[in-house]
Each structure stands twice: as structure tokens, then as C-alpha cells.
Structure 1
């Protein structure tokens, strides 16, 4: 017998739903999750990158009351904070700020200056993973903008999964969409987006750890460039592929 999740869902239910909804429009995948768990059970993780601004539009068309949050590392580009404010005005939606326990000053005191240069994994854990883990405890499922096309580590992503790291249902509505499909949606619906995307930043993280991507490089090559790090730790391999 499969592992019981909340609302009598089984991991096998999620695996079957992933098959059934693989080719459905992202809004229908979102609708499935909300119908099964309820709007108050879900939250959307928004980094204000182009995938996420498209998802915000889709989600609000399904249910405008679903929570949307962002991880504020205190190290975002100014353009990221500006697009947050523009989207707030555009959608008339509050984005919940989730911040680390340690301020940058406290982090420097405990771990030394510019921790992101010396130990980027520890920096991401403090400023992203731990705040996310704490915040997700209040929910039964979360919605993300990760796509198979983004990197080899995301190549097995399903539209519906069990996230064993955080113990939640994980919905990835754009998993099978390519870059062109996402941008076509943004243009069609005239959604504001981060101008850094027009400056060779396909993936935008913290400013000390993100550079523009050169022609021919992987879309995430600008993240933690010069290190072996390719993920911040928020997204891990689906249970069924481990």
C-alpha cells in the first residue's frame, strides 16, 4: 500500500495524476491541485523570473485567493524588487515576504563576510532553504515554475509530484513547456517581467552569484558561475526517480 498523504492522497495518486495531466494546460494542472487540496492548502513560490510571472497570471485566473510568496535573501537585484512592486500593482496581489532568520550583518558575524563566495551551499541554506522549509510547514502543497528544459537536474520533473524533502504535494505546471511557450504566454497576456531577461539573464538569482549567460551556454550557466554548484537546494529529484 502506498504512503498516505493529506486528504487521503497516496503517492500513487500523484504519479497517476502526473500521467493524466502531462499534456494539459498549466491552468488545468493548477486547478487539479486546488480542487484536491483546497486553495488555502497551496502556495506559489515566486522568484519573479519569467516562468513565475506567467504562473502568477495563471494561478490568479484559477483562484485569486491562493497564497504567493517570495524568498527575500536581501541580495536580489534592484530590478527584481522593482518587478515585484510592478506586479503587485498590476495584479493587485500581495506577495508574502519570507526572509532568513539571520540578517546579512548577523550572517557575516557568524560565518564571515561574503559567505556566498566561500561557501555558497551554506549561504543558500541560510538564506533560502531554511526559510522555505519553515514557511512551507503551513501548507499541504506548493506550486513552482521549474521546467525540464532548464537543466539536467530538472530533466525528470513531473507536473505533479510528491516532494519528499518538504513532505508536500508539488505542482510544476510548466514542467513540459519550453522557453518559447512561456514567453508567448507572457507576450499574449502582456504580463510585466524582469528587464534583466532582455540582458542575457535567463535565470535570475542573487546579484553576487548571477552573471549574464553567453551565447550557446546552458540557461542556468550564469548561476554560481565558476563553482560546481548548480542548484540552491530548493528543488530535488522526484521520489519516483530516486
Structure 2
């Protein structure tokens, strides 16, 4: 049994706070990936555990205005720096020049997400030993129902080789997240008040109707069971095993 497998066993039924505490104690070069409600819950939990909290976010250049305002509220509320990562301008310029602004509606979201999200994430993670995500098992039954609370990230490399990935909210439901946000009065994206549940880039995100799963609002023109952009590519591999 590897060290990470042993840690997974030890933490599998622990609270998000306990998982975060173990992660922050174990690694110095570790950061929270921040974009949505789950990540704010993590920041709310973690900022009480450490005075060296690191948070990063991917600015794809195509986010909603409300998302940018949300980022700023989080920065001010917790008095933290957010380490923004941006896509390569040349790669974006080449894609848009060749295929236009909305090629993903015909070609699928993989190419655009690869440039705007995956490559900047890869650059960031190469400077870390571990990262913390807000993934929950109930977010996407097709790809996330086996998400462990800690794992080796097979899709990305870290500072010195293998990268460790913590998912402290894996066992929480959406209701658990929102109960915590309301209880702590943590900031949230105002798009949630308009029916948006899972929020990504503006052209690829829409509100969901009552009874729809939250991931149905993402890349709605594509196969419903593969709602991943590449940030958590290991989920797709696991779902096909």
C-alpha cells in the first residue's frame, strides 16, 4: 500500500476540516483551486487553519461579469491574494483567428478548454506539491461518483514529480455546501440567484430547470455523461474503467 493510499484510508470518512488540516500540515507548496461555491466553502474552512493560505484561479477571459465581481468580493472578504492564471495569448489568438469565437459549439469544448483552462492549470500545478479542489461525488454521477478525498493526480505533475490532490468535500452534497455558506455568511456568485448552479465560462454555462442535474447547465450541446473540461481528466479515465 502506498503512502497516499494509506492516507486516503485514514481520511476517507473524516470531516472536510480534518482533511484540510491534514493536507495543510503535510505540504508547504499547496493551494486551493478557486472558482465556485464549493471552493469558497474550502476557503472559509481553511483560512481559520493557516496564516499561509494560498488560493489560485483560472481566468479564461470568457467568464461572466458576475464571476469577476465574485472573485473580488472573496479577495476582500478574506483579505487574501488570489493567484490568477491566464491562457497563452498567442494560442488564443491563433484559435480565434482560425475558427472564430464559438468553435466549441461545432468542435466540442475540448480544444478551447485545453487552451484557456488546462494549459494554465498545468503551469500552475508544476509549481506545487499538492492542490485542493472542491469536487463532490454528487456533482456528476457519470464522472465524479468515485472521487476519493485524497489521490495521486495522474493527469498533472507537481514540483518534484507526482502531484497529490485533495478533495475534502467529496462526501458533501450540494445542500451541505450551501448550508455551510449560509451559516458562515460566506460570499457567493450572484448568478446562483438566477438558476445557475455549476458556473463556468459565459458561452458554455446556462441556468438549469427544476429537476435537472447541476452539470446539465454546462456544455449542454454535448454528451451528458462527459461533463468535464480537462481539469479533472482522471475522472473520465476512472468512469471508463
- Report Cα offsets for 1:144-185 as digits up to 9, x if no partner: 000001002000001111101113100000000011111111
Match of 1:127 among 116, 124, 139: 116
* Counterpart in the other structure of 1:220: 215
Q: Match for residue 228 of structure 2?
A: 231
- In 2, Cα distance between equivalents of 1:64 and 1:46: 18
SS at structure 2 position matched to 1:24: coil
Q: Secondary structure at the match of 1:138?
A: coil
Q: Offset of 1:113 from its aligned partner?
A: 3.0
Q: Following TM superposition, by how much is the alpha carbon of 1:25 offset from its aligned partner in structure 2, in angstroms?
A: 1.6
1:16-75 superposed Cα distances (whole Å, 9 cap, x missing partner) = 22221122221211111122222xx1011101x111111111121111313211000011
Could you say which residue in structure 1 is the equivalent of 2:102?
114
For 1:214 and 1:15, the matched residues in 2 are separated by 39
Matched pairs, number = 229
What do the CA deviations read for 1:60-108 (whole angstroms, capped 9, x no partner)?
1111313211000011011100011111111111111100002654531
- Tell me what 2:160 maps to: none
Asked if structure 1 preserves the Cα contact closer than 8 Å seen for 2:20 and 2:168, the reply is: yes
What is the aligned partner in structure 1 of residue 127 from structure 2?
Answer: 138
Unmatched runs of 5 consecutive residues or more in structure 1: 3-11
> Take 1:61 and 1:158, find their aligned partners in 2: how far apart are those partners?
24
Aligned to 1:231, the other structure's residue is in SS state coil
CA contact (8 A) 2:197 2:214 kept: yes
Q: TM-score, normalised by structure 2?
A: 0.89
Residue in 1 that maps onto 2:166: 171
State the match for 2:203 in structure 1. Answer: 208
Q: Please, which moves more after superposition, 56-65 or 72-81?
A: 56-65
| TM-score, L = length of structure 1 | 0.89
**Correspondence list, 1:67-216, <5 A:** 67-102=54-89, 104-119=92-107, 120-152=109-141, 153-167=143-157, 168-216=163-211
Q: Please say if residues 72 and 99 of structure 1, whose CA atoms lie closer than 8 Å, have aligned partners that are also in contact.
A: yes
**Mapping of residues 47-62 of structure 1, within 5 Å:** 47=35, 49-62=36-49
Matched, 1:25 2:15: yes
Deviation at 1:240, TM superposition (A): 8.1
Q: CA deviation at 1:188?
A: 1.1
- Preserved CA contact (<8 Å) 1:75 1:206: yes
Q: Deviations over 1:197-240 (max 9, x none)?
A: 12211100001001111111111000001112511011033688
- Kindly indicate whether the alpha-carbon contact (under 8 Å) linking 2:155 and 2:234 is maintained by their aligned counterparts in 1: no
